[in-house]
Structure 1
């Protein structure tokens, strides 16, 4: 049993000063938000620099705490933070060149405090490295100055910032809160001494925090989720509408929806792009930067052709505005309801509803092989840095494998073609996959035999980046089912992920490494099943008549497939220009469901008939940690409140294990006495067992109790007890206890 005396916590012969427990609690609090900064910097490959800066801040705070007064911590911390933020903003292109840029910085800062993840920031590495020293120095300095409240407040403020941005998950938040609680509690005990009762109060507070963290978000509407899953998990199921969120997570097995999302009238088919993503974490994709008000955009720098398209929403709600890349003008009165992402994609300010339309004029870069081979590698420095980023989890074997695949390539275009062909030819298409642990691209290339478009596109972007080729991950829709010369029906299962590669003097050019034939077969089967089952929303009047093919055509049969034919690209005035046959027909086939690349924020799905699947399997590591912590806290709380003692007594009074006769009789009487105390009154000091039982005869205590008392006296004073006497005593007490209504303890 541990005891607490003065300013130390004593466990047997070991005494730990409360001050050092407060220091350890400070380390826990700092460690909680450092885990976020480490994850962020590891993605961009500067985690080692972060650790060096943190080590320097800890050493500096420890040394200076012995020599300088406490108020200097705030001055030094403020100076470090100011210098850090200045260094960050100095790296933002054009940050101090115009009032508009200054307003943009202010808007981004406000956005961070209202839910924008710091991972969305373009220069996140610079920001993290410059903010970390101040965030570590101040609380560490203050705890060594024994300013425990200020240490908890300063560290808690940093953690609170990450809670507001949504980067602190439930486990990190709880860990930091426990650390802050420990600083205040142990600091108080260090100053004024502590008691066992105070330790129990800490346990009760800990349990309350755990329970709160498992049921509610820290910030209303924020992204901190409860630790217990409510569905979805690693399996995706839904309508296929892709929202233009800033983060998408790669899932495991998915189900595709055959329901119609849009109809498109256009002068030619193509891929209808929704969003592109630049930052790869190894497990998901992030689009850095924030959206801005719509304005007409300039066309791509090289040769391009025009695509005019009008979209009509067929789902109940649509949070995305697909369009052929690159959209340069929005018409139909929608420009005031449209925003541009940092990468130039369109999104509605508010969800579009069924029947609404919008028109877009796009200029699509010409995919001419000769032009792209000669494009060179004179990339803009900022673009090259942004779209060549690789997470720290990228393995050397992936870089080596990609170098082997592209060994015969003389330029980035040939590298892209070779990687595209290798993935298409060496991996099978399947919607039923288990999401791997660790880096998705590395796992898909070396350990997985099959996957769907998200895995193919993620792997190709990563492989290109290992070769220094700027590339980005793109989501959207393929053309859909062509129902007339200028009209397409786009279903949820037409949602898709592909790759865009940057070429100087041309711009972003599409590549699609996902095999076409097996995808077409799988998705056609889904449409056929839906039609056979009479599902609603699967067809429009035009799509029921089958896929339209131009004349003349080499296709002799007309099917009711959602797969668009090769004519979508090859007969529509050469959408991408001629290119050699390298194993990819550029067939804009059926796409993937949005849950294949599920937004981490809550989004509105176009199909309301489908529900998320509840994952079945072992609990995660985080859930096990939460569960263990919760169990310990509950036990401590139960001990503090007396629940454990009452529960033990409730079992003890009703069930008696057998021992030696004398022991059995003594315990039988103890049970009887406890039962009578619960039902009537406690035995008074100096009152003999016989007097006690006799005094209760007027309330119904009968001869059974007197017989047990007599057997007890014989066992205690005469030592005259047999096995038969013990059996009789135990049996009589069992009858008395089970035949009476129990009252709650009076203690």
Structure 2
């Protein structure tokens, strides 16, 4: 390299440094997303070790191994990773892996299925990352920067499509990829303004593509979608099918969703979630078709039959825990979740109903205290999970509150009572940053049910007690004859704790009195405003039930708080109406007309306009680089000719003819005469050789001979006009 001038040497080194800086940003973008997966489920140290080993291997073999061998190594890494993932899956999940299921799951990942929903998400992340890391860095070592970007960008695109990459991560990856490609351009063609259009077009294309990926259904970033504002209770929990994000302030909906005919009041469960991400909950595993009666709880239970009738469109199957049998038309469309719940694959319309039989756990306090800790492996594997980033102070607070209690039951009661007594209830709270449980314990004075339930589950798991986050509805209004009217504001989140030989038992740490007050106030407000669909019985001609009627039917209308040591699975008092703060499932959100929005609210958002502007800048830069713009301007310039004097008109006509011929064939070479140039053109059906030679002849007379007449100028201009129209179909059509 000594023969290379110093300036050139420094330039090459600079480009190489830029390439590796950009590739580091690109690799860090997708690797950080996969690292977060391992942080949530465990294995982040192993993940870092695998990434480091992949980088070291790529650096080591990059100088000595050919591309074909490297591709073979990459394929081997991916195959071994997939094999390791399959080996770690529970047998129940392996049995579901048919070719059709694998294809459907792959398509789901590419259209918004979060990696965290996979049962073996941590192993999957560790299995996937070595391939792109090794291949991209191997190619970079061999100075194949563009190919390195392609390999890394595929991994980034995957985590964007799954919805696990946020907007900032995506932008960092895009900028890193752009820098690496820029380094390739600089190394080959030099740096400076001459390459600015290339980089501008490339960066614009990457930003637009990443923004487009983010609006694939289910994707998390969704930068092109308008902000819908604060969610209703229905939209923040129960509507979430496979994941729940803890949000900030929410609104209550007084609309009637369904009725339940049941001999006893219960909490009507719709979903249970096993994986805590730090900012929400995810339900892992694949569903299976409902094909008949399900297994009940392992301990004593009592049978409860419920008939649920939809009063508004719903896409849930509310039922007391644990549902074992579903009857009705919806049964053929129902699926069973790995957590033991049942949900429909269709929407129930108003008036449609189903009957569900539940086996409700029925254990005494003494039985739960004596349950012990001999948990099944499947329970400990799923329901003791906490992110590795869970703070020490959360674990220490749980130890302070429940560490001295001797049984899991007493630990659960202690934590439940602590949260009820030390936190206020409020629907208006800011969404905390970082871990929700940590924020609720140490930074927030108030919250609603999702905060209480999340924090209790995290505290229990840190004490080695299996627990899960559950959503559904409180009993609703008892209007007599065993009929319970359930509204959107009856939606709720609570906790279930697992006890050997008993199963899942409900605990509710959210204070009931303030919830009831919030519900009553919302119903009264809706009645005063004349809101429809809040009175039950009106469509059938019966007298609508008012708030006063409900209080009379329910006694005080308040839910009795759970007393420490009292089993919360015991029947709630008839008519208990715990005001809820969680969403109702499957309820369509109101459109712009329902919310009274201006028609201008559907105009593109600011972010949409910014992305569109970036795309336009990229198109302009690309057009400049590819000379498309120059050619388009040149073609436009020959469409019309302003007349002056005969000699000028003939010369201008010839210039227009030259533009046409250059576009269709080639430009005239230096030193080539006009006559020789047109003589070299191949035959064409779109032009007459005689006409072209005549224009050239008139041009030679105008420039070198004794001049031309007015009639000569008319002939030259009209001839070129015909050739222009023949070469520009849209102009010919307009004329």
2:180 to 172, 180, 183: 183
Question: Within 5 Å, which residues of 2 pair with 1:337-486?
Answer: 337-486=333-482
CA contact (8 A) 1:200 1:636 kept: no
Task: Pick which of 455-464 and 526-535 moved more.
Answer: 526-535
1:633 to partner: Cα distance: 11
Separation in structure 1 between the aligned mates of residue 364 and residue 108 of structure 2, nearest angstrom: 41
- Equivalence for 2:169: 172
Residue 558 of structure 1 aligns to a residue whose secondary structure is helix
- Equivalence for 1:558: 552
- Equivalence for 1:65: 62
Residue 367 and residue 485 in structure 1: after superposition, are their counterparts in 2 closer, same or farther (change >3 A)?
farther
Separation in structure 1 between the aligned mates of residue 160 and residue 484 of structure 2, nearest angstrom: 44
1:324 to 314, 320, 338: 320
Separation in structure 2 between the aligned mates of residue 116 and residue 578 of structure 1, nearest angstrom: 38
- Equivalence for 1:118: 115
Residue 43 of structure 1 aligns to a residue whose secondary structure is helix
Residue 224 and residue 412 in structure 1: after superposition, are their counterparts in 2 closer, same or farther (change >3 A)?
closer
- Equivalence for 1:52: 49
Separation in structure 2 between the aligned mates of residue 475 and residue 390 of structure 1, nearest angstrom: 19
Pair 1:544 & 2:540 matched: no
Structure with the largest fraction of helix: 2
CA contact (8 A) 1:441 1:459 kept: yes
Task: Pick which of 496-505 and 331-340 moved more.
Answer: 331-340
Pair 1:594 & 2:580 matched: no
CA contact (8 A) 1:479 1:564 kept: no
CA contact (8 A) 1:481 1:543 kept: no
Residue 476 of structure 1 aligns to a residue whose secondary structure is strand
Task: Pick which of 475-484 and 176-185 moved more.
Answer: 176-185
1:289 to partner: Cα distance: 1.0
Separation in structure 1 between the aligned mates of residue 195 and residue 202 of structure 2, nearest angstrom: 11
Residue 254 of structure 1 aligns to a residue whose secondary structure is coil
CA contact (8 A) 2:265 2:575 kept: no
CA contact (8 A) 2:215 2:225 kept: no
Residue 184 and residue 607 in structure 1: after superposition, are their counterparts in 2 closer, same or farther (change >3 A)?
closer
Separation in structure 1 between the aligned mates of residue 596 and residue 195 of structure 2, nearest angstrom: 45
Separation in structure 1 between the aligned mates of residue 475 and residue 396 of structure 2, nearest angstrom: 36
Unaligned runs of 5+ in 1: 550-554, 615-622, 643-747
1:531 to partner: Cα distance: 1.1
Separation in structure 1 between the aligned mates of residue 185 and residue 83 of structure 2, nearest angstrom: 37
Residue 233 and residue 464 in structure 1: after superposition, are their counterparts in 2 closer, same or farther (change >3 A)?
farther
- Equivalence for 2:261: 265
CA contact (8 A) 1:313 1:355 kept: yes
CA contact (8 A) 1:256 1:592 kept: yes
- Equivalence for 2:284: 288
- Equivalence for 2:74: 77
Pair 1:528 & 2:524 matched: yes
- Equivalence for 2:496: 500
- Equivalence for 2:681: none
1:109 to partner: Cα distance: 3.7
2:136 to 120, 139, 152: 139
Residue 302 of structure 2 aligns to a residue whose secondary structure is strand
Separation in structure 1 between the aligned mates of residue 13 and residue 143 of structure 2, nearest angstrom: 16
Residue 479 of structure 2 aligns to a residue whose secondary structure is strand
Separation in structure 2 between the aligned mates of residue 546 and residue 96 of structure 1, nearest angstrom: 49
Residue 81 and residue 441 in structure 1: after superposition, are their counterparts in 2 closer, same or farther (change >3 A)?
same
Residue 102 and residue 32 in structure 1: after superposition, are their counterparts in 2 closer, same or farther (change >3 A)?
same
Residue 191 and residue 207 in structure 1: after superposition, are their counterparts in 2 closer, same or farther (change >3 A)?
closer
CA contact (8 A) 2:163 2:214 kept: no
1:605 to 582, 585, 588: 588
Pair 1:29 & 2:26 matched: yes
TM-score by length of structure 2 reads 0.74
1:340 to partner: Cα distance: 1.6
CA offsets 1:64-88 (integer angstroms, 9 cap, x no match): 1122122221111111111111011
Separation in structure 2 between the aligned mates of residue 88 and residue 349 of structure 1, nearest angstrom: 28
Pair 1:576 & 2:569 matched: yes
- Equivalence for 1:728: none
Question: Within 5 Å, which residues of 2 pair with 1:138-287?
Answer: 138-210=135-207, 213=210, 216-218=212-214, 220-227=216-223, 230-232=226-228, 236=232, 242-243=238-239, 245-287=241-283
CA contact (8 A) 2:334 2:345 kept: yes
CA offsets 1:363-385 (integer angstroms, 9 cap, x no match): 11114211111111011123202
1:323 to partner: Cα distance: 1.0
Residue 289 of structure 1 aligns to a residue whose secondary structure is coil
Separation in structure 2 between the aligned mates of residue 299 and residue 15 of structure 1, nearest angstrom: 70
Separation in structure 2 between the aligned mates of residue 239 and residue 167 of structure 1, nearest angstrom: 20
Separation in structure 1 between the aligned mates of residue 192 and residue 5 of structure 2, nearest angstrom: 8
Residue 497 of structure 2 aligns to a residue whose secondary structure is strand
1:510 to partner: Cα distance: 0.6
CA offsets 1:176-208 (integer angstroms, 9 cap, x no match): 344334434432442454552223321243235
CA offsets 1:12-37 (integer angstroms, 9 cap, x no match): x9875323322322222212211211
Separation in structure 2 between the aligned mates of residue 197 and residue 439 of structure 1, nearest angstrom: 48
Separation in structure 1 between the aligned mates of residue 473 and residue 6 of structure 2, nearest angstrom: 66
CA contact (8 A) 2:467 2:496 kept: yes
Residue 7 and residue 163 in structure 1: after superposition, are their counterparts in 2 closer, same or farther (change >3 A)?
farther
Residue 99 and residue 246 in structure 1: after superposition, are their counterparts in 2 closer, same or farther (change >3 A)?
closer
1:529 to partner: Cα distance: 1.3
TM-score by length of structure 1 reads 0.73
Residue 485 of structure 1 aligns to a residue whose secondary structure is coil
CA contact (8 A) 1:369 1:578 kept: no
CA offsets 1:536-593 (integer angstroms, 9 cap, x no match): 11111268345899xxxxx9x71689957669x99xxx993499xxxx9996612113
Unaligned runs of 5+ in 2: 599-605, 626-735
Residue 588 and residue 90 in structure 1: after superposition, are their counterparts in 2 closer, same or farther (change >3 A)?
farther
1:440 to partner: Cα distance: 0.8
CA contact (8 A) 1:424 1:515 kept: yes
Separation in structure 1 between the aligned mates of residue 618 and residue 108 of structure 2, nearest angstrom: 42
Residue 446 and residue 612 in structure 1: after superposition, are their counterparts in 2 closer, same or farther (change >3 A)?
farther
Residue 224 and residue 100 in structure 1: after superposition, are their counterparts in 2 closer, same or farther (change >3 A)?
closer
Residue 406 and residue 9 in structure 1: after superposition, are their counterparts in 2 closer, same or farther (change >3 A)?
farther
- Equivalence for 1:725: none
1:498 to partner: Cα distance: 0.1
Residue 563 and residue 248 in structure 1: after superposition, are their counterparts in 2 closer, same or farther (change >3 A)?
farther
Question: Within 5 Å, which residues of 2 pair with 1:597-746?
Answer: 605=588, 611=595
